[in-house]
Amino acid sequence: MGNLTEIRWHGRGGQGAKTAALLFGEAAMSLGQHIQAFPEYGPERMGAPVQSFNRISQEPITLHCGVTNPDIVVVLDPTLIATVDVFQGLDKGDTIIINTEKAPGNIAEELKIKDKGIKVYTVDASGISKDEIGRDIPNTPMLGALVKVYGKLNIEHVLADMGKKLEKKFRNKPEIIDGNLKAIKRAYEEVKS
């Protein structure tokens, strides 16, 4: 279990936190990893705070309890930080990736977490999404940022796998497929610590 990575996604209902966890899980699985991807089921209302989770390991995963001490937290919507404790369970050396235009240093200062030893990454996933997909759907770019930060998955393989998945879903809307793939790649390149 030494190589187990636990990830928690924070989003709002409709932003695709669940889909992102499922897509990330599937991509990791197609690259030979053992995975889990599951949402937290509660108030499934548009705009309400929601969470979803991933577990990734080189070995089979038998854990079925909730994720309480994630290694990586992904925040799809920065406005959540004011109402939800997105840092819950994050310890020294753990990582948070936030969708924001702000620089990691600035946001760490703003949130007063500079001395906690948590690695902060930021990427303007909403901006990238608006540029490439035409709408603010930050989940796929955040997935690209996560692939970079997680560091154990080859981005070209992830993009190839994602392309296949999206092709099934959006057979008649090729522009959505290209937009998403570009958004993933851009966030992968633009995420910064």
Partner 1 sequence: MADKKLTVAKTGNEAMAEAMRQINPDVVAAYPITPATEIAQIFAGFVADGLVDTEFVTVESEHSAMSATIGAAAAGGRCMTATSSQGLMLMAEMLPIASSLRLPIVMPEVNRTISAPINIHCDHSDTMFVRDSGWMQVYCEDAQEAYDSILMGIKIAEKISLPMMVSTDGFIISHCMANIDLIPDEDVKEYIGKYNPKTWLLNPEKKITVGCLDLQDYYFEHKMVAIDAMRRAKGVIKECCKEFGARFGREYSFFDTYKIEDADIAILAMGSLTGTAKVAVDNMRRAGKKVGLIKMRVFRPFPADELARVVSGLKALAIMDRSDAMSGLEGPLAVETKAALYNNDTKPKIHSYVYGLGGRDVQISELESIYNDMDDLSRAKKKFDENVTYLGVRE
Rule CB under 8 A: which residues touch partner 1?
Answer: 1, 22, 25-26, 29-30, 34-39, 41, 60-66, 68
| Minimum gap (Å) between residue 71 Cβ and partner 1 | 16
d(CA 52, CA 91): 19
| Minimum gap (Å) between residue 65 Cβ and partner 1 | 5
| Minimum gap (Å) between residue 82 Cβ and partner 1 | 26
Nearer to partner 1 (CB atom), residue 100 or residue 139: 139
Nearer to partner 1 (CB atom), residue 57 or residue 126: 57
Nearer to partner 1 (CB atom), residue 26 or residue 190: 26
| Minimum gap (Å) between residue 132 Cβ and partner 1 | 26
Nearer to partner 1 (CB atom), residue 60 or residue 82: 60
Can you spell out the DSSP letters for the chain?
-TT-EEEEEEEETTS-HHHHHHHHHHHHHHTT-EEEEEEPPS---TTSEEEEEEEEESS-----S---S-SEEEES-GGGGGTS-TTTT--TT-EEEEE-SS-HHHHHHHTT-GGGT-EEEEE-HHHHHHHHTSS--THHHHHHHHHHHH-SS-HHHHHHHHHHHHHHHTTT-HHHHHHHHHHHHHHHHH-B-
d(CA 85, CA 49): 11
| Minimum gap (Å) between residue 68 Cβ and partner 1 | 7
Nearer to partner 1 (CB atom), residue 63 or residue 103: 63
